[in-house]
Amino acid sequence: MSKTANSRTIARGAQTEAIKDVARRLIAEKSVSGLSLREVSREMGLVSSALYRYFATRDDLLTALILDAYNDLGQAVERADARVARADAYARWRASARAIRRWATNNPHEYALIYGTPIPGYVAPTETIEAAARVARVLGAILSESRKVEAKGAPKKSKGSDVGRYLELDSLAAIMPGVAPEGYLKALMAWTTIFGFLTFELFGQYVGSAKNLNLMFDRVVDELAISLNLEAP
Amino acid sequence: MSKTANSRTIARGAQTEAIKDVARRLIAEKSVSGLSLREVSREMGLVSSALYRYFATRDDLLTALILDAYNDLGQAVERADARVARADAYARWRASARAIRRWATNNPHEYALIYGTPIPGYVAPTETIEAAARVARVLGAILSESRKVEAKGAPKKSKGSDVGRYLELDSLAAIMPGVAPEGYLKALMAWTTIFGFLTFELFGQYVGSAKNLNLMFDRVVDELAISLNLEAP
DNA sequence: AGAATTGCAAGAGCACTGCTCTCGGTGTGC
DNA sequence: GCACACCGAGAGCAGTGCTCTTGCAATTCT
């Protein structure tokens, strides 16, 4: 078919990656709003119009960077989780949460790119929401494989849970299979708290109330672990 | 003194307000990054350079808008809290939380202005962190006036709490006097979860997992109330 | 192998931005 | 009444995203 690897298509791929690399560097140095196609082109010894051969618009370039950022974060969390004994749900949770924070503090501008204010006229293509789910999938797996153990507990006297009225049970069941729907809300809350923490930390809302964010984050992670019933084996 | 109200200074004040109003409208219609001084000036029948008599730079205008937004939100929450019986801590908490969300969903772009990605070279002047504390003060008061009731409970067997190592005890004590430092973390977590929720809602991170955010928010608020030990009188 | 097609970078140009500076007119305080 | 401070107009600078056309080089078809 057409997917032959002639020198032109590989050159194109390399050039595309080079553009993204330069853009990433500029974003890291300045910020996302300080990124300009002209500066990227200058940096590469190109004329600005040449970049449009690779990215039709500035937003397209940003979309590509967003996708990469999601995958980069997802991969970092996956690896952190993989380094811990599967059976130790608490250790996996803590390692994953710390990996998220480590990535965020090491790449604050890329974090802002994916979890900060959305780009004006930008609507996330389905690929990005797929990539965004990658880190959620790790956390979901931890819960799944933890909950199976105590699944034989009392079936809960629950006074008619109504989670189905406000949550997408199917999507959530796919991410954390085996977890009872009654647990979905706490899972989502924990997820929200982790990223809310990082957003507050990176965007400066904690100044004045916290002084050691490393320690505070660990304490938050522990509190969440308790509310999620995650304990060492 | 110099603060005489001659026609010029009042005209200046009015013009300043008019500029902010137009800017607010444009931000609401488009977004914060879509705000341009030239468009504001066009809208007002002025030449762009004239605006610089009132705001030395675009960021200065944004700072003024940020300040207004914080105060607007703070006032909305204060009023919501004031409408509920002081003794009913749970009702106060729920009313305040709902007021925050109502304001956020009604003014998404202004929410993004204060809780979204910070402006590039922007460092918040002390006035803004003062204004930012306004809503926190409401939540703190609710906790304070609730906790006093059960303060006579067992002094907690606490295995040497270390909150002082990572939290600014003095600032927090000023916001929620009477609350034991051991409760600070949960208070900060609840605050984080509320705004994390709104950030996720407004920035689109919940698409695919939630379908009724009104209901979900209320459930989250209830869960937080439990973790904060807030109960109806 | 030669011809046709396709991809690429260059350059000029458009409409826009934030911001600066200078220039007259006007209300203010002495 | 006068000097002063303020304000709006206008021109201009450097920068932006993006478009379009023009040659050149590499690939593909015949």
Task: Please report the DSSP string for A124-137 in residue order.
Answer: --HHHHHHHHHHHH
Under the banding of pLDDT at 50, 70 and 90, the label for residue A1 is: very low
CB contact under 8 A, A203 and B117: yes
> How many contacts does A have with B, using Cβ atoms within 8 A?
141
pLDDT, tens digit, for every residue of A79-125? 999 999 999 999 999 999 999 999 999 999 999 999 999 876 666 67
Q: Return d(Cα A228, Cα B172) in angstroms, integer.
A: 27
pLDDT classification of B1: cutoffs 50, 70, 90: very low
Write the pLDDT tens digit of every residue in B90-145: 999 999 999 999 999 999 999 999 999 987 666 677 788 889 999 999 999 999 99
Predicted TM-score (pTM) of the model is: 0.92
What's chain A's average pLDDT? 89
Q: Amino acid identity, residue A105?
A: T
CA distance B46 to chain A (A): 26
Q: Is B173 exposed, middle or buried (0-12, 13-18, 19+ CB in 10 A)?
A: middle
Could you give the count of Cα atoms lying within 13 Å of A173 in the half-sphere of its Cβ?
Answer: 8
State the pLDDT at residue B129: 85
Q: For residue A47, say whether its CB is under 7 Å from any atom of strand C.
A: yes
C-alpha A23/C-alpha A31 separation (Å) is 10
Q: Residue A78 has what pLDDT?
A: 98
* Yes or no, beta carbons of B166 and A32 under 8 Å apart: no
pLDDT of residue B135: 97
What distance in Å separates the CA atoms of residue B147 and residue B156, rounded to the nearest whole number? 14
Kindly report which listed range (A24-28, A48-52, B105-109, B155-159) carries the lowest average pLDDT score: B155-159
- The per-residue pLDDT for B10 is 86
Q: Measured from the CB, is A49 under 7 Å from any atom of strand D?
A: yes
Beta carbons of A193 and B188 less than 8 Å apart: no
User: Which of A17-31, A33-47, A116-130 bottoms out in mean pLDDT, i.e. has the lowest?
Assistant: A116-130
Closest CA to A185 of B224, B141, B14, B115: B224
Give chain D positions with protein CB within 7 A: 6-12, 15-21, 26-28
pLDDT above 90 for B154: no
Please give the pLDDT value at position B111.
Answer: 97
With 0-12 / 13-18 / 19 or more C-beta atoms within 10 angstroms meaning exposed / middle / buried, residue B152 is exposed
Q: Which nucleotide is nearest to A50 (CA to C1')?
A: C9
